[in-house]
Structure 1
Amino acid sequence: MSTILANGLSVDAPGSSPASYALSRVLGFGIRLLTGWKAAAPEAPLSRKAEADAVREWAWTFARTDRSFSDDLFAAADRHELARH
């Protein structure tokens, strides 16, 4: 990608050349190879009960300041946990 300045000159954005992309890929691979670093495995999805419990914990933070919003969150957690999907 390049940027055209007001005086008509064109300036390439840093890292926009194919060579810099290839170099960054090679350096990244080298660092991972030398350090043994790997991307983290994706976490297992939460169960409906675990998701609902997390929303209930969050709802308690609003119980004192915004009771109606807190009640809505509790109701949503109940609906989510009981849904058969």
Structure 2
Amino acid sequence: MLEVVCLGLGAGQGEQGSPELCPRCQPFIDSEHVIHKYFLPRAYAVAIPLAAGLLLLLFVGLFITYVMLKSERVTKKAQ
């Protein structure tokens, strides 16, 4: 019954609604249900955002370092 509600609400919102709503319904659906084969394992729910956050932090740090070093070179040339 819950999968029918999940798919019905997703279909009403167009193609964008179903991917947002069905993973939220997944914990309430039996693990043997066919819908589970269309989604990544639950371990990726932590690993992917963590890796993306670390990469974002790395790029922000590299950008700030680059800008600070470049501005330091400009002030040395001006003096």
Of structures 1 and 2, the larger Rg is shown by 1
Structure ranking higher in helix proportion:
2
Structure ranking higher in strand proportion:
1
TM-score by length of structure 2 reads: 0.30
